[in-house]
Structure 1
Amino acid sequence: MSATGNARKRQQPPTPATPSPQLKHQATMEEEELDEDVFLEETLLQYEEEDSQRRALADRLAKWKRPALSPSLLSQSQNIVFQQLEIDYVIGDSHRELLPSSSGPAAIIRIFGVTKEGHSVCCLVHGFEPYFYISCPPGMGPDDIFHFHQILEGRMREANRNSKVPKFVRRIELVQRRSIMYYQQQSSQPFLKIVVALPTMVTSCRGILDRGIQIDGLGMKSFMTYESNVLFALRFMIDCNIVGGNWIEVPHGKYKKTARNLSYCQLDFSDLISHVPEGEFSKMAPFRILSFDIECAGRKGLFPEPTHDPVIQVANLVTLQGEDQPFVRNVMTLKSCAPIVGVDVMSFDTEKELLLAWRDFIREVDPDIIIGYNICKFDLPYLIQRAEVLGIAEFPILGRIRNSRVRVKDTTFSSRQYGTRESKEVTVEGRLQFDLLQAMQRDHKLSSYSLNSVSAHFLNEQKEDVHHSIISDLQNGNSETRRRLAVYCLKDAYLPQRLLDKLMFVYNYVEMARVLSQLLRKAKQKNLVIPNVKQAGSEQGTYEGATVLEARAGFYEKPIATLDFASLYPSIMMAYNLCYCTLVTPEDARKLNLPPECVNKTPSGETFVKSNLQKGILPEILEELLTARKRAKADLKEAKDPLEKAVLDGRQLALKISANSVYGFTGATIGQLPCLEISSSVTSYGRQMIEHTKKLVEDKFTVLGGYEHNAEVIYGDTDSVMVQFGVSSVEEAMNLGREAADYISGTFIKPIKLEFEKIYYPYLLISKKRYAGLYWTNPKKFDKMDTKERDIPGAVQYVKNTISDLLMNRMDLSLLVITKGLTKTGDDYEVKAAHVELAERMRKRDAATAPNVGDRVPYVIIKAAKGAKAYERSEDPIYVLENNIPIDPHYYLENQISKPLLRIFEPILKNASKELLQGSHTRSISISTPSNSGIMKFAKKQLTCIGCKALISNSDHTLCSHCKGREAELYCKSVANVAELEELFGRLWTQCQECQGSLHQDVLCTRFSVAFLRFGPNKCIFCSAEIVQYFTGEKSTERHGRSQATIGSMELLILEELVVDVKMQQACNPGWMIFHLYTWWWHAGILAKYN
């Protein structure tokens, strides 16, 4: 470029011309038109989005709502038949049309149920009044009853001054009844039926009569009340012949739709007919069952509290009873959530919107039964309290009655069998709550009642892998992490539904409800009344229980026949006519002078009249229950429909439980109607029959009697005896067992019957209540089983190997976990217990995860100072793993294993103690936990050779003088080890990504075993790579000490075992990723030591 060109000045841009007013106006108009187009476009998009949301909501409501009512129901021209699910009562105004003469408040029965078409029903029954009985004093006439009524009314008015009831005692009627207690020759006697205004007034009136009342001509007199403790709803069911879960019919023209919509049900009416649950009326209605679960964003280290921690997700599954797949699957989330296949995901910006949406969902889907796991103690109370904190006053209206709020109150249940359990009682009117946790604790004996453990036990399924500590992190992430949490929440709602179906809770509990209150129902038929007996506790004393014959301990190589009494205690009560109404008091026995052929004198010294004089109520109930059970079992064999089978199986089980509970009902001193004369007589007859059976067997089946061997009864337990006939074949023993059962049954009064049930061969009898054997019911089954003594050394060697594994710290920690129930708080225990003290320590460490009253506490015993108590050495297994705390194997050997072992082996092995508990297999190794306290502060780590672990004095070297020639070998081995671990880690990581459903987000798996399998190889890769780097010179000797402290021969051995074990798991089990919680506890301990 020339100099002149460089010197040339740049031209200035031209000055823009000022636009004319017309151009300005035109530009303004164009901008306004453009803004209007954008606005219209945004408005249209918003409208389309809102329209899409409305259509989605309409689709949801169509799916959620119950079927529409037929015109015949709306016109009240069709009979209504429904299965009742819940009966309660409310206090309301008397019905003016049905009860024109009544005034003031009255009790209104409410029956909630479902028709076979799926319509929800609420039946309101008016006019049923609470009442009870007292014995009428001799000589009391109509005028005396009138004056008595006035006196009692005055006393009631004094006791209930604030009540607005116009008349407390509605009426007193003279009726003919008879007390169920004791034999009485007269068929009936006068009683007073006292009818009161409200159910709560029964208790008040009973108290006045118990304390005594002044009566003209009689002075101060107290009265025993009869049936004053019967619940009002149960009284209604008994009087109307309604049983739990039965079908009720309301004829057309007998019901009226309520003028006001008092409930969310579709029909409200009065009047009904009860159907016996047989045939078509034994089936189940299509109840709507909602299973739900909530998730809360808790603070770190604290259990969620409704005053601080929000509800972030609610998962819901709705299933029709009898179907296995939900027809509604949804999850409500706070903030956005990625889609989930087959699930309706609803996201909300605020927690208030979420809670109100769930309330609306409950109203629309209208569930009959609400289930979940721990919902009564946590989920439902948490939602109610959280709504209160947020000021959502309308949220707790979740029931079927309008403006009726959910009620929550604390409860404590305590019994000798179940201990003490604290919970909450949640009342959602018209909807039944069924907590699977409470059902599991009540019906099944398990070591752990967590949802994960219970699901693994019954379903072979487990929860999703989300630890409670990362729930808040998932919520605060993005839509993908919230999706992971939603899947977890859905699984926690799905598992209770699966448990409900698997264990047939609905069928079994409905059938149990159908046999409830047999005594009250039968007494009503017979015009008998039951006294209200005060709770006496243990003041009535105790009685002798069943006989257990002395066990002849040993190992029996010949078949042992087992003879069982069929329903022993119910059979005794039926055979000897044992009942409240057949019991004769000693005083009456002297007065009545009954002939001997009309009475039974029991072995315990009690007197009962025989059935030819008066048939007892209890024997009659038992006959009906056992007959019904036989019929149900016969129908079960013929049934083809799975639902019909479930109903019949639940029925026969309920009838069996009910029949067996009659004896226990009479012996419960804190029960409703204890009678120790009956229970002691039953057990005394049982003891006599066991002894009688033993004598007949050993007297008849002898060599002198023509048999090959002398029979010997080796054990007897309550209702069974075990007999060795001396024969060597199972078939011969079965034939002799049947012959003995038939012969002995002929000596008893019917229906007492001894049955041959099974053969044990071989049989190990250790002591009373402790025996084991191979179970035979078919003589040709297991006939080639070898049971000779040459098998014993194999068992001994197995025991020795197990003891060696225990003492050498090779045993899986899960096998050493002890679990015990926490039935009360620590202060309530008189003696310090290991699980109680551990629970207190866990509460101090982390209150969010600490066990509460009613939970089972798992623990292991760890090493501690000499002389430390067991309760001081108990520790949480997870804490042991995380902190590499050594267990105390000698405690387990001496306190948990040795005594059971000796009980088993002493009958079959000489010197069992010396053989099993002494010798080289009892050598042990000591695992100590590194410590930086005390003298260990002055300890210094010594470097060792990577090859042979010999001590090295020169810190510049990695190998000793003996291993210097093996550099190439050790290097290649280290490189191969790193490659193998990297491959293993990669497969584990990929598997977790596939389980999580995404290859593009962080792995959030928190299942302990899988997480450690990833962590273990990753940690080992780092350590092994350090060794490789030392060989290549990439590592400085400054960190040599750390490496030497990190990797040793034991660690390399563990790594090799880890790889081998994982390969074996992969080869043997397609689901090799899902390992047990403690599978790698030893590896975790070794690696954690060097973190």
Structure 2
Amino acid sequence: MAGVFLPCQYLRSRNSHTPSSLSRSQHSMTSPLTGKRTERPSPDPLDDKPLAKKAKPLAPSQSFADVLKEMPVNETVLDRRGNAINGDEDLVFQYVDMQLHHFNWDVALVFGVTEEGVRVLVHLNGLSGLPQSETCGPLQTFMLFNEITAMSWMEIPASRFRAVDAFEMLSHNQVEVAVKHGDIIFHPPEGPWTKSAPLRILSFDIQSMVSPGNRMPRYEHEPVLQIGNMLSVKDASVPYSRCIFTLDTCSDIAGADIRSYETEKDMLLAWRAYVVEADPDVIVGHDIACLDIPQLLLRAWTLELAEFACLGRLKDVYAEAFMQPVNYRKVKDAPILAGRLQLDTRQYMAESTIRRTNLTTTKRPKCDLTTVAFEFLSKTKEDIPSARIEGLQLAGPDERRKLAVYCLKETHLPLEIFHCPKLRCFDEAVEAARSSEKYMYRPFREFLRNGRNKS
């Protein structure tokens, strides 16, 4: 079944004929952090623009450090917002994600959030009793039969569900219950059922080493240096928790929690534990589908950290990433994190630009973070040239602080795009999925992964 893999099988090779980045010669490069490098050749005296003049000045966004200072007190202890339900009351929750049980296709696993913020997993039994369709699988048949659309509300009478025993629990969710599919009430998104549960949003960004001459990191030998994170609740644009994981020490940043590690392995495993503990419903970022999440999974595979791939809500279910260069990755191939939706603001803005400007899909709209932030947020994003990242990393904790402030701003901007009232990214995507003939009765994550524009 797609999305379920053994620890040693959570990566698949695709497009093995693709050139360059997977070639044997490139695997032999020395590590950017530990190996010696050949000095760059001296500039040609006949060149009127030698290397020294071509290099762009380093301009990390130090002003964002002042923005961080003004944010509310950082919550370093993550709030899981409740840990139980009353068995004498009906269970009412907003559906977030759904998939088939990985061993029993007669059971659907429904992830949801109550109005009080309790994360639940419902085992819906008896799908085989539904009318079978030759064109639809069990899950789509169930959703079509009950007219379940994206982010709709469900209700289970107290007398109809039972708490799942500890040895049967499949997830990290606070509550797991089992019920027959015919005993659940499905509310169409009308009237009072148009409300939203307090969804937890995680925005993150990674900074990786990039070898000279490359524009993008390669997973084989270029380590992840920093991972910036911000946690927010839907419709609350100011993050209640701001945290950054750094490889090696980093000077303090007021308003942010800095967690430093001696090795990349330790940092990646600690970040995975952070995601499980934070338990986000939606993960946001700019280009996370093609870059950040696959890059993290592939680095973990390179470092033989199989357990890292358990980033979803189900225990022992591993996300997969295609073993291919960044330029060959596609959003529709983005890793699935069970029970967590992913909204890639770069993909969303590309589709939004095509719709607003009537561009043909053969023309690629310019949707880099700098352009989007300036157009919709009236904010600028100062870039650190990739050639300077290694220098900052090796220069000491004060210089790594500059990189960390920049990374945190790269983390904050997608969160602002997510909450931008001009865009209404999430709400607009929900409405589009509900009205889409193709995705109306499919899990919402499929709409977010595949988008609505043909390409």
Q: Using structure 2 for the length normalisation, give the TM-score.
A: 0.72
Q: Residues 905-1054 of structure 1: matches in 2 within 5 Å?
A: none
- Deviation, structure 1 residue 301: 1.1
Whether 1:324 aligns to 2:237 is yes
What is the alpha-carbon distance in structure 2 between the residues aligned to residue 80 and residue 282 of structure 1?
17
Aligned partner of residue 121 in structure 1, secondary structure: strand
Aligned partner of residue 325 in structure 1, secondary structure: strand
- Residue 441 of structure 1 aligns with which residue? 350
Aligned partner of residue 92 in structure 2, secondary structure: strand
Q: Of the candidates 234, 243, 252, which is equivalent to residue 158 of structure 2?
A: 252
Give 2:116's aligned amino acid. Answer: E
- Residue 36 of structure 2 aligns with which residue? none
- Deviation, structure 1 residue 65: 3.3
Aligned partner of residue 267 in structure 2, secondary structure: helix
- Residue 114 of structure 1 aligns with which residue? 113
What is the alpha-carbon distance in structure 2 between the residues aligned to residue 283 and residue 410 of structure 1?
40
- Deviation, structure 1 residue 372: 0.6
Does the aligned pair in 1 maintain the 2:82–2:116 contact within 8 Å?
no
Query: Larger C-alpha radius of gyration, 1 or 2?
Result: 1
Whether 1:352 aligns to 2:265 is yes
1:406 and 1:518, CA in 2 relative to 1: closer, same or farther beyond 3 A? closer
1:421 and 1:392, CA in 2 relative to 1: closer, same or farther beyond 3 A? closer
Runs of 4+ in 1 over 6 A off after TM superposition: 59-62, 518-521
Give 1:248's aligned amino acid. Answer: M
Q: Of the candidates 181, 185, 193, which is equivalent to residue 281 of structure 1?
A: 193
Does the aligned pair in 2 maintain the 1:369–1:431 contact within 8 Å?
yes
Sequence identity, in percent? 32
- Deviation, structure 1 residue 91: 3.9
1:122-159 deviation line (CA, Å, top 9, x unaligned): 1111101287xxxxxxxxxxxxxxxxxxxxxxxxxxxx
- Residue 482 of structure 1 aligns with which residue? 400
- Deviation, structure 1 residue 516: 4.2
Aligned partner of residue 84 in structure 1, secondary structure: strand
1:125 and 1:461, CA in 2 relative to 1: closer, same or farther beyond 3 A? same
Q: Residues 1056-1067 of structure 1: matches in 2 within 5 Å?
A: none
Q: Residues 356-395 of structure 1: matches in 2 within 5 Å?
A: 356-395=269-308
1:107 and 1:425, CA in 2 relative to 1: closer, same or farther beyond 3 A? farther
Whether 1:293 aligns to 2:205 is yes
Whether 1:514 aligns to 2:434 is yes
- Residue 173 of structure 2 aligns with which residue? 265
1:481 and 1:520, CA in 2 relative to 1: closer, same or farther beyond 3 A? closer
Whether 1:237 aligns to 2:248 is no
Give 1:274's aligned amino acid. Answer: F
- Deviation, structure 1 residue 118: 0.9
Aligned partner of residue 192 in structure 2, secondary structure: helix
1:520 and 1:369, CA in 2 relative to 1: closer, same or farther beyond 3 A? closer
Q: Residues 850-889 of structure 1: matches in 2 within 5 Å?
A: none
Aligned partner of residue 324 in structure 1, secondary structure: strand
1:129 and 1:88, CA in 2 relative to 1: closer, same or farther beyond 3 A? same
- Residue 617 of structure 1 aligns with which residue? none
- Deviation, structure 1 residue 366: 0.2
- Deviation, structure 1 residue 235: 1.9
- Residue 425 of structure 2 aligns with which residue? 505
Does the aligned pair in 1 maintain the 2:96–2:112 contact within 8 Å?
yes
Aligned partner of residue 428 in structure 1, secondary structure: coil
What is the alpha-carbon distance in structure 2 between the residues aligned to residue 336 and residue 388 of structure 1?
24
1:275 and 1:425, CA in 2 relative to 1: closer, same or farther beyond 3 A? same
Q: Of the candidates 412, 419, 422, which is equivalent to residue 494 of structure 1?
A: 412
1:340 and 1:323, CA in 2 relative to 1: closer, same or farther beyond 3 A? same
1:279 and 1:518, CA in 2 relative to 1: closer, same or farther beyond 3 A? farther
- Deviation, structure 1 residue 62: 7.0
Structure holding more helix per residue: 1
What is the alpha-carbon distance in structure 2 between the residues aligned to residue 111 and residue 497 of structure 1?
26
Give 2:415's aligned amino acid. Answer: Q
What is the alpha-carbon distance in structure 2 between the residues aligned to residue 374 and residue 425 of structure 1?
10
1:680-718 deviation line (CA, Å, top 9, x unaligned): xxxxxxxxxxxxxxxxxxxxxxxxxxxxxxxxxxxxxxx
Whether 1:468 aligns to 2:386 is yes
- Residue 78 of structure 2 aligns with which residue? 64
What is the alpha-carbon distance in structure 1 between the residues aligned to residue 112 and residue 140 of structure 2?
17
- Residue 97 of structure 2 aligns with which residue? 86
- Deviation, structure 1 residue 448: 1.5
Does the aligned pair in 1 maintain the 2:122–2:178 contact within 8 Å?
yes
Give 2:318's aligned amino acid. Answer: R
What is the alpha-carbon distance in structure 2 between the residues aligned to residue 237 and residue 279 of structure 1?
21
1:443 and 1:231, CA in 2 relative to 1: closer, same or farther beyond 3 A? farther
Aligned partner of residue 162 in structure 2, secondary structure: coil
Whether 1:341 aligns to 2:263 is no
1:316-365 deviation line (CA, Å, top 9, x unaligned): 01110011111110111111111111111111111111101100100110
- Deviation, structure 1 residue 390: 1.1
Does the aligned pair in 2 maintain the 1:246–1:514 contact within 8 Å?
no
Whether 1:305 aligns to 2:207 is no
Aligned partner of residue 334 in structure 2, secondary structure: strand
What is the alpha-carbon distance in structure 2 between the residues aligned to residue 378 and residue 465 of structure 1?
17
What is the alpha-carbon distance in structure 2 between the residues aligned to residue 330 and residue 274 of structure 1?
38
What is the alpha-carbon distance in structure 1 between the residues aligned to residue 193 and residue 160 of structure 2?
21
Whether 1:429 aligns to 2:342 is no
Aligned partner of residue 315 in structure 2, secondary structure: coil
- Residue 400 of structure 1 aligns with which residue? 313
1:401 and 1:332, CA in 2 relative to 1: closer, same or farther beyond 3 A? same
Does the aligned pair in 2 maintain the 1:397–1:405 contact within 8 Å?
yes
- Deviation, structure 1 residue 514: 2.9
Give 1:328's aligned amino acid. Answer: S
Aligned partner of residue 260 in structure 2, secondary structure: strand
Aligned partner of residue 491 in structure 1, secondary structure: helix
What is the alpha-carbon distance in structure 1 between the residues aligned to residue 77 and residue 262 of structure 2?
24
1:60 and 1:68, CA in 2 relative to 1: closer, same or farther beyond 3 A? farther
- Residue 458 of structure 1 aligns with which residue? 376
What is the alpha-carbon distance in structure 1 between the residues aligned to residue 330 and residue 437 of structure 2?
27
- Deviation, structure 1 residue 507: 1.0
- Deviation, structure 1 residue 433: 1.2
Q: Residues 148-187 of structure 1: matches in 2 within 5 Å?
A: none
What is the alpha-carbon distance in structure 1 between the residues aligned to residue 197 and residue 80 of structure 2?
14
Q: How many residues align?
A: 350
Q: Residues 606-625 of structure 1: matches in 2 within 5 Å?
A: none
RCO higher in 1 or 2 (8 Å CA, sep ≥ 6)?
2
Give 1:278's aligned amino acid. Answer: E
- Deviation, structure 1 residue 243: 2.1
- Residue 228 of structure 2 aligns with which residue? 315
What is the alpha-carbon distance in structure 2 between the residues aligned to residue 519 and residue 392 of structure 1?
35
Does the aligned pair in 2 maintain the 1:296–1:309 contact within 8 Å?
yes
Aligned partner of residue 392 in structure 2, secondary structure: helix
1:464-519 deviation line (CA, Å, top 9, x unaligned): 33111101111111111101000111111111111111111111112223334499
Does the aligned pair in 2 maintain the 1:92–1:107 contact within 8 Å?
no
- Deviation, structure 1 residue 444: 1.0
Does the aligned pair in 2 maintain the 1:407–1:427 contact within 8 Å?
yes
What is the alpha-carbon distance in structure 2 between the residues aligned to residue 347 and residue 359 of structure 1?
14
- Residue 69 of structure 2 aligns with which residue? none
Q: Using structure 1 for the length normalisation, give the TM-score.
A: 0.31
